[in-house]
Chains A and B, each alone.
Chain A
Amino acid sequence: MSDPANRRVGRVLGINAWLVYVFLYAPIALLIVFSFNDNNNVSIWTEPSLRWYREMFGNDEVMGALRNSLLVALVSTLVATVIGTALAISLERYRYRGRGTLDGLAYLPIIIPDVTMAVMLLIFFFQAFGILDSLTGIRLTSGLHTIILAHIAFNISFVAVVVRARIAQFDSALEEAAADLYATRWQTFRRVTFPLILPGVAGGALLALTLSLDDVVVTQFVSGAGSTTLPVYVFGLVRRGVTPLINAVSVVMLAASMILIGISLGLQRGATVRGQKIADPASLLEDVSA
């Protein structure tokens, strides 16, 4: 590998890699820097200030949208994680009729473009509310509840995929061994299966949180008057024009992403430590029989 041609290829590869990193990070870095800029123009630097952050925290619309976003993300993640984990276990550990078709149904929401998903749910809620009104006289409108229902719909599949990858990694013999040692189904789940898939469940939940906090298109279609989330609110502002206030809000949203990434990386490290524990199943089985 030491001939000059190879070394030249190596150098080109290295330069390309660092250029890609600059491309990936420069826009984010500039956005952060300019959010601390005291100027009405978004990209002309005058002097550092926290003016736009003060303005943001004093802005009721931004704060309301932020509260909505957090509520939607937390509720939809919680529900999607429980249902999605059960789905992953069902698909990965059991055989039953219709499983193939249902497996396909579970994957579709991941592949389908979000514009289509948005259109589907818009028509669905419109139609469902219409039918409900004509049958019972109850008039429902879109709002936070429709946003939450929609986010659960796309998050279930993502949670299931992440958890399935985790289940596929360990041997079902561990669960069978627990059963052989007279553990009940519930004990087996609580003391063997669940601890083993926990990193996957947490990873799936973090992905669901991220997707929920990211979504613009679906939310825009199913939100009612006065129930907007932070991304939809920011999206509306951006379409009208850029202001330094958006820079500050963007940095807060970035910070939220970063915190989630940090947790997820920490979990991955935790998972490898657990991996060593899995390599020694005897210790796990001691736990079960105790």
Chain B
Amino acid sequence: MIHYDCKYYLNTDVFKGICKRDKSNINADDEACNNFEKAQKCKHCSNFLLYGNDWGTCMSKYEAYPEMNAVTCNDFKQ
């Protein structure tokens, strides 16, 4: 579990960001803390089916990728 996958991680750039909870500066790829909660990403969505490492399908009809943010997606299902 890394910050990059956490619900409370706020990107500032591709390397780093801020914790939305305590406002600390953190690196995207560092280990997350105990407050970790899964971010809303395609890979955490029941509509997403992974095949291979980089690809998957969304609702069985669209190509999608696992790391994509889905916080704005109306079809996201935990």
Q: Do A and B come from one complex?
A: no
* Partner-A contacts on B (CB < 8 A): none
